[in-house]
């Protein structure tokens, strides 16, 4: 997958590694031995030599479905079909880095004329 972002302070590889107009290419491989478990490995190569390698183990427990079916290797084909994946969540890149600037608070106190308690 190729991704390109535009801006002066874009954090494609984390909030501490911001770049101007970064781009990256990434690839990921998934292996599902049983419907309950998925193993993954991925690599992202970006601008200026930045890179990121990830390994993952995902547990996909479906409430209300018997555990025997979730451990059955014949059920994998069913889950890979469109009808079997209708309850899956949409996968998105939700890592958004915004520039933060601390705002200054100005407090003004005015004295009221009169006696306290009036």
Q: How confident is the model at residue 96 (pLDDT cuts 50, 70, 90)?
A: low
* Model pLDDT for residues 53-83, shown as the tens digit of each residue: 999 999 989 899 899 999 999 888 887 788 7
Q: How far apart are the first and last CA of the chain?
A: 70
Give the model's confidence band at 94: pLDDT under 50 very low, under 70 low, under 90 confident, else very high.
confident
Band (40; pLDDT cuts 50, 70, 90): very high
pTM (2 d.p.): 0.62
97, 11 contact by CB (below 8 A): yes
pLDDT of residue 99: 64
CB of 1 closer than 8 Å to CB of 26? yes
Chain centre to alpha carbon of residue 113? 57
| Arithmetic mean of pLDDT over the chain | 85
pLDDT of 9-23, one tens digit each? 888 887 788 888 889
Q: How far is it, in rounded angstroms, from Cα 13 to Cα 105? A: 32
């Amino acid at each position: 997958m190729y991704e390109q972002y535009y801006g002066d302070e874009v954090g494609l590889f984390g909030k501490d590694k911001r770049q101007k107009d970064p781009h990256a290419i990434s690839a990921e491989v998934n292996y599902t031995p049983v419907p309950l478990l998925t193993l993954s490995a991925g690599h992202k190569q970006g601008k200026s030599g930045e890179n990121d390698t990830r390994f993952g183990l995902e547990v996909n427990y479906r409430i209300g479905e018997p555990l025997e079916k979730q451990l059955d290797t014949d059920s994998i084909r069913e889950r890979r079909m469109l009808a079997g994946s209708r309850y899956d969540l949409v996968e998105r890149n939700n890592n958004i880095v915004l520039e933060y600037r601390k705002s200054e608070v100005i407090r003004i106190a005015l004295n009221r004329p009169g006696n306290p308690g009036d």
